[in-house]
């Protein structure tokens, strides 16, 4: 084991000529072009538990395999029964970023019985795609 560590840690890294002489492929340093996301995504809700809602990202348009789709920004707002609901996604107050297509949101105990409004858009390094349709659900 000691000889293996010595060979691994004390040997200098391979130069470009060593890589070519050994028949290895040179390291790819060209970044993959991402671009601005064009896909439109929406949120489907499902019940997880008391004060917890699960969300699932569903594509309305575009492909989930597009390299421009790096993550999802989920915007939400909790509205009490007597308040006016948001008219468009720009009026939603809270947000979080996720790279997963399924996630769980935990709400406060006092939010039970209120309505939560959700909207999502695809993001790629700060570039935002179009808004998806707004969805509402009653918080258990």
Q: What is the DSSP string of 2-22?
A: HHHHHHHHHSPPPPHHHHHHT
The predicted structure's pLDDT at residue 108:
92
**Number of domains within the chain:** 1
- The verdict on residue 12 lying in a domain is no
- The verdict on residue 93 lying in a domain is yes
Q: Among 132, 59, 125, which residue's Cα sits nearest to residue 89?
A: 132
The predicted structure's pLDDT at residue 23:
81
- The verdict on residue 31 lying in a domain is no
Query: Per-residue pLDDT tens for 78-129?
Result: 999 999 999 999 999 999 999 999 999 999 999 999 999 999 999 988 889 9
The predicted structure's pLDDT at residue 114:
94
- The verdict on residue 27 lying in a domain is no
Q: What percent of the chain has pLDDT over 70?
A: 89
Helices and strands counted in the chain (H then E): 2, 8
pLDDT of 1 strictly over 70: no
The predicted structure's pLDDT at residue 69:
87
Which CATH number goes with the domain that contains 127?
A: 2.60.40.10
- The verdict on residue 75 lying in a domain is yes
Q: Among 90, 97, 91, which residue's Cα sits nearest to residue 72?
A: 97
Q: Looking at the chain, how many residues does it have?
A: 140
- The verdict on residue 114 lying in a domain is yes
pLDDT of 9 strictly over 70: no
Q: Which domain holds residue 104?
A: 40-138
Cα torsion for 108, 113, 119, 122, to the nearest 10°?
Answer: 40
Instruction: Give the mean pLDDT of 46-61.
Output: 92
Of 92 and 11, the structure prediction assigns the larger pLDDT to 92
pLDDT of 2 strictly over 70: no
Q: What is the rounded CA–CA span in Å between residue 115 and residue 78?
A: 6
- The verdict on residue 66 lying in a domain is yes
The predicted structure's pLDDT at residue 11:
65
- The verdict on residue 59 lying in a domain is yes
């Amino acid at each position: 084991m000691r000889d293996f560590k010595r060979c691994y840690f004390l040997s200098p890294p391979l130069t470009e000529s060593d890589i070519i002489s050994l028949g290895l492929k040179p390291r790819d340093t060209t970044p993959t072009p991402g671009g601005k996301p064009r896909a439109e995504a929406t949120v489907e809700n499902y019940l997880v538990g008391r004060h917890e809602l699960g969300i699932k990202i569903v594509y309305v348009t575009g492909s989930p395999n597009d390299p421009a789709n790096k993550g999802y920004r989920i915007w939400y707002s909790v509205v009490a029964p007597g308040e006016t609901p948001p008219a468009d996604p720009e009026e939603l107050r809270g947000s979080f970023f996720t790279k997963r297509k399924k996630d769980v949101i935990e709400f406060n105990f006092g939010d039970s019985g209120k309505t939560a409004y959700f909207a999502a858009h695809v993001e790629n390094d700060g570039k935002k795609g179009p808004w998806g349709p707004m969805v509402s659900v009653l918080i258990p």
